[in-house]
Structure 1
Amino acid sequence: MASSLPQELLSLIANHITGKNEKLTPYTLVNKSWQAAFERRMYSSLVVLSPSDVDYITVGPTEQHKKRGLSLSRLDDITSGPQDWRQARRTYIRHILYRVAVPHYLEECRRGDDDYTYDNIWHRENNLAFSHGMRALFDYLPRLVDQAISLDIALQAETA
C-alpha cells in the first residue's frame, strides 16, 4: 500500500516529481509519512522575500511580474510554534535565497551626469528598505540553530 512505503522510496518519488516541476503540496496530504518526505524536499531550498508592500515587480514602462517566493513572515508562521511538524520544517531547511526588496533600480552609469549626487532620495529609500529587510532576516535566523544552512542574498528592485 502506498501509504506505508519506506521514507527512502517516498523521497525518491518526491525527487522525481520535483524534476517535473509539479507542485508537491498535494502529496503532503496523503498521510504523515508522505508529509514528512515531501516537506523535507519542499523546505530544503527556499526563496524567501523580505518584507515589502509590493506584490509585483515593474519591468519597463508597462511590464509587471508577480514576485515568486515565500514571504519571511509566512516562513516564520509555518516554521514556528510548539507543534513537532512545524519544528521539523525548520530542520529541513538547507539553503535560503533571500531576496531583499528595494524600491528603485539605480543605474550607476548616471554618475557622470553633472547634476547627479550620490546622496539622493532614491539611494536613501533603497538603503532604508535594505536595512529593514536585513534586520528582519537576522531576527529570523536564530531560530535555525544547530544546522548548516547556506544563505544567498540578492537585491530585488521593485521598479525599473
Structure 2
Amino acid sequence: MTDVVDGTTRSRMMAGIRGKNTKPEIRIRSLLHRRGFRFRIHVDSLPGKPDIVLKRHQAAIFVHGCFWHAHHCHLFKWPASRIDFWRTKIEGNKTRDTVNSQLLKKSGWRILTIWECALKGKYRLDEAELLEQLSMWLNSDNSEHEIIGKVPEP
C-alpha cells in the first residue's frame, strides 16, 4: 500500500513529532503533581533520560508511545512502506529500552513504563484507575511495572 501523502509532506509530519514533553508525559506529570508527588523530568545523568524521575521513591518513569516502541496493542501496526527502515528504527528503540532498563536496575532504580494505550484510544484507563496504579506502584517495593490500556474482551 502506498502512502496517502507525498514524501515531503510525510517528512514534515514526522519531524513534528516530539520526543520530550509530549501530551501523554504532561498528563502523567499533572496527575503526579496533583497527588503530591515531586519529580524531575528528563534527567540527563540517568541511562535513557527517563521522562519522569522520583528520587525519593528511587523511581524512573518512561511514557512510551506504542508505535515507537512496538507495543503489542491496538495502537501499533507495522508501517506498509519503508519496511526495512521502520523495522530497524523500532527494533533499535526496543534494544535501547532494554539496555537502559538493565543499567537503571543495576544502579538501584525502579522502573515504570506507562504505555500510550493506557492514556488514549478505546481501551484507555480512566484517570482514577491510572492514578491508583501509579500511586500503588510508587508506594510499593516492586522493581519494575507496566501500565497498559484495558485488555479488550474477546
**Richer in helix (by share):** 1
Scaled by the length of structure 2, the TM-score of the pair is: 0.32
Scaled by the length of structure 1, the TM-score of the pair is: 0.31
Task: Choose 1 or 2 for highest CA Rg.
Answer: 1
Q: Which has the higher contact order (CA 8 A, sep 6+)?
A: 1
**Richer in strand (by share):** 1
